[in-house]
Structure formats: C-alpha cells, structure tokens
Amino acid sequence: MFMAHCFVTGAAGFVGSHLCEQLLAAGHTVTGVDAFVPYYPRELKERNLAPLLDQASFDFQEADLRTATLAPLLARAEVVFHLAAMPGLLKSWEQFELYMSCNILATQRLLEAAVAAGVQHFVHCSTSSVYGRFATGDETSPLAPVSPYGITKLAAEQLCRAYGEKDGLSYTILRLFSVYGPRQRPDMGYNIFIRKLFTGETITVDGDGTDSRSNTFVTDAVRGIMLAGEHPEQSAGQIFNIGGGQEVNVNQVLQILEELTGQTAQIVHGPRRPGDQRRTAADITKARTLLAYDPQTSVVDGLRAQVEWQRRELSRS
Ligand SMILES: NC(=O)c1ccc[n+]([C@@H]2O[C@H](COP(=O)([O-])OP(=O)(O)OC[C@H]3O[C@@H](n4cnc5c(N)ncnc54)[C@H](O)[C@@H]3O)[C@@H](O)[C@H]2O)c1
C-alpha cells in the first residue's frame, strides 16, 4: 500500500484532527500544523489534538501559515492536505481581513512553499459555499458565492489552479458539503441544536426550517480527502464534490435529535442569515466514479454519534 509523509494544515480543527487520526491509522506519517486562530476556544482544539500527540508517527508544529517560515516545516512533506481556514459564514461579514488573510494569503504562501519543497501532491479542502445559495448540481455548476467566506474559499481554489498551471503543481480541489459528527465546531448548527436540547435552551431556527443540507459525516468526508491524496493518478487537476448521500432539512434534523436525546426542543423562528445557503444536495457522481468515494453513514447514525459525543463532553464540564 502507498505510504507517504503527509502535511496537514488545520490539524487541531474539527475535520483536520479526524484526518490526522485516519492517516495515522492507515500507516502514514503526519506533520500537523495549526495556529489556534481564536474563532472558537483553543482549549477545544487542544482536546482534538491530544490523542494525536501520543503517537510516534505524528509531529505537531504550532505555526501561522500567514507569517511562518514554511520551508523547514515542509521539508519531509510528500502530500499536503490544506484544511486550515477561517470557516463559518456570519463572521466573514464582520472580519473580512481575517478571512482574506487566513483563506487567501495563507493558501498562497503554502502553495509557494509546496512548489519550492517539491511536494508530490496538494489536496485543497474547499466548500460547497463556492456555488452560492443553491449547491445542487455537479462540479460544473455556476460559481456564485453569497458570503465573503465563500468568496475567499473560491479565490483559494483559483490559486491552486494558477500554481498548477505556472509550476506544474499536482493538486486536487475538494468541495466539502456541511460536515458533522464528533468534534463538530461549536458554531455549527447541529452542535448548537444538540447543546440546547440538553440544556433546555430555546433553539432559534433561521427561516421556516425547510432549508436543507446534504450533510457529510466526518469519517466519510475524511475518507474522500484521503482517497484524493492517495490516488493522484485519478485526482490530479480535478475538482470533486464530497458530500453525504442523504439530504435533510432543519425540521427533520430537529425531529431526529429530539428522538436521540429524549428531549423536546423549544423552537423559535428567526430571519435567515445573510449568506446562508438554501439548499445543498451534493452530486457526488464524479467522486464515486473516479475515486470510488462511497459515503456510508446515514444521517440518523451520524447524528447518534454526535449526540453521544456531546453528551460525554457536557458531562465533563
Ligand atoms: N466543517 C464543515 O462543515 C466544512 C464544510 C465545507 C468546507 N470545510 C472546510 O474544511 C476545512 C476545515 O474546517 P473545520 O470545520 O475543521 O474548521 P476548524 O476551524 O475546526 O479548523 C480549521 C483550523 O485551521 C486553523 N487555521 C486557520 N487559519 C490558520 C492559519 N493562518 N495558520 C495555521 N492554522 C490556521 C484554525 O486554528 C483551525 O484549527 C476548512 O478549510 C473549511 O473551509 C468545512
């Protein structure tokens, strides 16, 4: 089996920490990098990272991609997985400079360093937000992001393409669709719903609850990311949607969560948030065909795993 030294940015984050775990389990060695950007508490990211730090094949470097000298960090890197970013829509309206620097400048610096280090393949994690209000088609769908977050992530994609053209960098772009599961970021909808169900707080649903998502359970998303890194012969120069198989709306999710937690949700409806997507339904035909990507986790099973993780986390605090 193909083994590589992997360089994972955003390693202390939600998806990045799962990716490191799965890469190590598959026998790869990993250098993880993160700057603990305070979008959510450092303590939570340290908790994501803790089990990785015990592993001999894992090396962690605290470094900010916007400013750090990257050459020594990339010295052993064969495959780069670039997940570091400022995520989330709402704050991107208020803190545009932070999104611009973490999502665009950091990506440009990393690409420059990856070319100089001669890495074999660069996997860039992008988002369905690049499509805009409706993300329901395949990878050739129009790109019309409706949030500064989506715009900075689209710019980062274009940088990958430009370095591919200029320097022959082998790269893959993955557009992830709403990822959920254990360690989900505390600002994300399902995390908030579950937390409030357990604490009895009122849940605000933006809009009438009919907005729907093609959610991706985190281990399925990570499988897609790894497939792109492990099979550059199939993935180089390509863009793939990485989503789960099942689309559900907010009202349906709340009903499932009520059953899983045994609690009744107190719900109020508020206005839709600026930049929110109305409907995402990942067309993953291309990833299925070229990468044999095959998401396995049903929404009920995935939410059950997240509920149990949050139950444990709440009982610790
Ligand atoms: N979670 C989702 O539903 C989702 C959906 C689509 C795309 N994505 C993409 O997946 C990636 C991971 O998202 P996540 O949900 O795990 O977010 P996260 O915030 O949990 O992880 C991102 C990590 O990147 C780090 N980081 C940010 N800027 C940095 C910099 N300049 N230098 C070094 N580290 C930096 C942060 O400290 C954080 O730990 C992001 O690129 C995001 O755009 C996520």
* 59-74 pLDDT tens trace: 999 999 999 999 999 9
Q: Provide the whole-model pTM.
A: 0.97
User: Which amino acid is located at 80 in the chain?
Assistant: V
52 and 91 housed in the same domain: yes
Dist. CA 204 → ligand 1 center (Å): 25
* 72-98 pLDDT tens trace: 999 999 999 999 999 999 999 999 999
* 249-307 pLDDT tens trace: 999 999 999 999 999 999 999 998 887 888 888 999 999 999 999 999 999 999 999 99
Identify which of 21, 37, 86 to mutate to test ligand 1's pocket (most ligand atoms within 8 A of the CB): 37
Instruction: Give the phi and the psi of residue 46 in degrees, each rounded to 5.
Output: -65, -35
Identify which of 125, 173, 177 to mutate to test ligand 1's pocket (most ligand atoms within 8 A of the CB): 125
pLDDT of residue 194: 98
141 and 252 housed in the same domain: no
d(CA 108, CA 111): 5
* 145-177 pLDDT tens trace: 999 999 999 999 999 999 999 999 999 999 999
| Buried-exposed string 7-16: b where 16+ CB fall within 10 A, e elsewhere | bbbbbbbbbb
With 70 as the cut, is the pLDDT of residue 108 above it?
yes
93 and 171 housed in the same domain: yes
61 and 199 housed in the same domain: no
| pLDDT band, residue 52 (cuts 50/70/90) | very high
Whether 293 is a known active-site residue: answer no
Specify if 288 maps to a domain: no
* 130-139 pLDDT tens trace: 999 889 999 9
With 70 as the cut, is the pLDDT of residue 2 above it?
no
Instruction: Give the phi and the psi of residue 133 in degrees, each rounded to 5.
Output: -60, -35
Dist. CA 266 → ligand 1 center (Å): 31
pLDDT of residue 68: 98
209 and 124 housed in the same domain: no
**Average pLDDT estimate for 116-142:** 96
In the Cβ-directed half-sphere of 233, how many Cα atoms lie within 13 Å?
A: 1
39 and 76 housed in the same domain: yes
Task: Give residues with Cβ within 8 angstroms of 42, minimum separation 6.
Answer: 36
With 70 as the cut, is the pLDDT of residue 238 above it?
yes
Report the Cα 256 to chain-centroid distance in Å.
23
Report the CATH number that the domain containing residue 150 is assigned in CATH. Answer: 3.40.50.720
Specify if 290 maps to a domain: no
Q: How far is CA 186 from CA 88, 98, 192, 194, 307, in A?
A: 11, 19, 7, 10, 13
Which pairing describes strands 247-249 and 212-214: parallel, antiparallel, or unpaired?
A: antiparallel
258 and 171 housed in the same domain: no
pLDDT of residue 109: 98
160 and 27 housed in the same domain: yes
276 and 142 housed in the same domain: no
d(CA 130, CA 124): 14
| pLDDT band, residue 1 (cuts 50/70/90) | very low
* 15-32 pLDDT tens trace: 999 999 999 999 999 999
Which pairing describes strands 171-176 and 79-82: parallel, antiparallel, or unpaired?
A: unpaired
| Inter-helix orientation angle 250-261/189-199, to 10° | 40
Contact assessment for residue 20 and residue 57, using Cβ atoms and an 8 Å cutoff? no
pLDDT of residue 317: 75
Q: Domain range holding 56?
A: 5-177+218-242
Count of the separate structural domains present in the chain = 2
**Average pLDDT estimate for 226-249:** 95
13 and 49 housed in the same domain: yes
pLDDT of residue 305: 98
**Ligand 1 site: residues with CB under 6 angstroms?**
9-10, 12-16, 33-37, 39, 45, 64-66, 83-87, 102, 106, 125, 127, 153, 176, 178-179, 185
255 and 308 housed in the same domain: yes
